[in-house]
């Protein structure tokens, strides 16, 4: 599932491809992904509009555009959910089964596809208000992190998934950060000691930074699944799943149940917290 690093890599690759391109047509195939924005509204806003900037915020993609009619700025908010992908496809290429939104950019189509339709491409900004600090920016301080953790009785793993605590950490990197910090995923957030909070703060940044660095080395046409299916894609955020060799060596606990801990060889355990899998080393991450 795409978390902060995957979205960051996508944004870096996608930004130069869409910059200054003009939208010549808008096709909404799944209105659901628009959230509260009516299809007619987004179609009218985007038609003829031109991309100016693309940045990441948490797991969100923020597309800035300038409208054709009044040249007013437009903010298009994207989220990949669990299975979303965004890429350019040659205009002549066949669209994927689950294409949710297609933007005609001339030679290429900008495609947002999402088999589960959990993601969004919308003009609605309300989700952004709920986001906490960017973990890789100076605004993410140990002091504020500690203050927020003190307010919560939730298990720290569950709390890390709260996007208002820190933006962009998902199920994979929550487990990875806790392993790196040597902290049990089950301990209540408010029970963390200052030195643990400090280590976790550092671990979050390290885990995310390492993943971005690893992703940056991928070729532009990298694809996590079969090459043939993706050969037409100008860029593709590869589903670098746990099966891909690239990904595997980066993840020390996630999806490694029963495999030996990289540090102490104790079998990694899987547990369910808030209906989500958590992976941890019972030896290195004791309460």
Partner DNA sequence: AACGCCGCCTGATCGC
Partner DNA sequence: TGCGATCAGGCGGCGT
Positions annotated as catalytic residues are 2-3, 59, 276
- Tell me which stretch binds DNA (CB under 7 A): 11-19, 136-144, 232-240, 272-280: 272-280
Helix (H) or strand (E) holding 76: strand 73-79
Cβ–Cβ < 8 Å for 11, 235: no
Residue (52 or 273) nearer to DNA, CB = 273
User: Total residues at the site for DNA (CB under 7 A)?
Assistant: 32
From residue 47 to residue 76, the character string flagging contacts with DNA as x (rule: CB under 7 A) and all else as - is -----------xx-----------------
Gap between the terminal Cα atoms of the chain: 28
d(CA 233, CA 99): 14
- Tell me: does residue 286 bind DNA (CB under 7 A): no
| 123 alpha carbon, distance to own chain's centre | 19
Of residues 85-114, those binding DNA (CB under 7 A): 97-98
**Contact between 171 and DNA (CB under 7 A)?**
yes
Q: Min. distance of Cβ 216 from DNA in angstroms?
A: 22
DSSP string, 78-100: EE-TTT-EEEEEETTSPPPTTEE
Nearest CB to DNA, comparing residues 122 and 285: 122
SS (H, E, C) 111-153: EEECCCCCCEEECCCHHHHCCCCCCCCCCCCHHHHHHHHHCCC
| 277 contacts DNA (rule: CB under 7 A) | yes
Q: Which of 163, 232, 244, 248 binds DNA (CB under 7 A)?
A: 163
Q: Is the dihedral of CA 165, 169, 171, 177 positive or negative?
A: negative
Answer yes or no whether residue 257 interacts with DNA by CB under 7 A: no
Residue ranges in contact with DNA by CB under 7 A: 1, 32, 58-59, 79, 81-82, 97-98, 115-118, 126-127, 130, 151-154, 158-159, 161, 163, 170-172, 272, 274-277
């Amino acid at each position: 599932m795409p978390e902060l690093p995957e979205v960051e890599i996508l944004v870096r690759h996608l930004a130069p491809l869409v910059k200054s391109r003009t939208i010549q047509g808008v096709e909404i195939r799944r209105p659901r992904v628009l959230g509260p924005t009516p299809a007619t509204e987004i179609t009218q806003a985007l038609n003829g509009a031109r991309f100016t900037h693309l940045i990441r915020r948490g797991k969100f993609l923020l597309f800035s555009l300038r409208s054709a009619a009044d040249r007013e700025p437009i903010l298009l908010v994207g989220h990949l959910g669990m299975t979303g992908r965004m890429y350019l496809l040659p205009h002549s290429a066949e669209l994927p089964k689950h294409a949710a939104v297609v933007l005609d950019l001339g030679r290429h189509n900008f495609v947002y596809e999402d088999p589960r339709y959990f993601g969004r491409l919308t003009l609605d900004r309300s989700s952004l208000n709920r986001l906490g600090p960017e973990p890789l920016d100076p605004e993410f301080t140990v002091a504020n992190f500690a203050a927020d953790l003190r307010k919560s009785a939730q298990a720290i793993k569950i709390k890390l998934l709260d996007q208002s605590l820190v933006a962009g950490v998902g199920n994979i990197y929550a487990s990875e950060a806790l392993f790196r910090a040597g902290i049990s995923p089950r301990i209540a957030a408010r029970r963390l000691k200052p030195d643990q909070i400090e280590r976790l703060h550092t671990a979050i940044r390290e885990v995310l930074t390492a993943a971005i660095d690893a992703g940056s080395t991928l070729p532009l046409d990298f694809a996590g699944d079969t090459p043939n299916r993706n050969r037409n894609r100008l860029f593709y955020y590869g589903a670098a799943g746990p099966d891909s060799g690239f990904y595997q060596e980066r993840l020390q606990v996630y999806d490694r149940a029963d495999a030996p801990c990289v540090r102490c060889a104790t079998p990694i355990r899987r547990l369910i917290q808030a209906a989500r899998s958590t992976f941890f080393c019972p030896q290195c991450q004791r309460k």
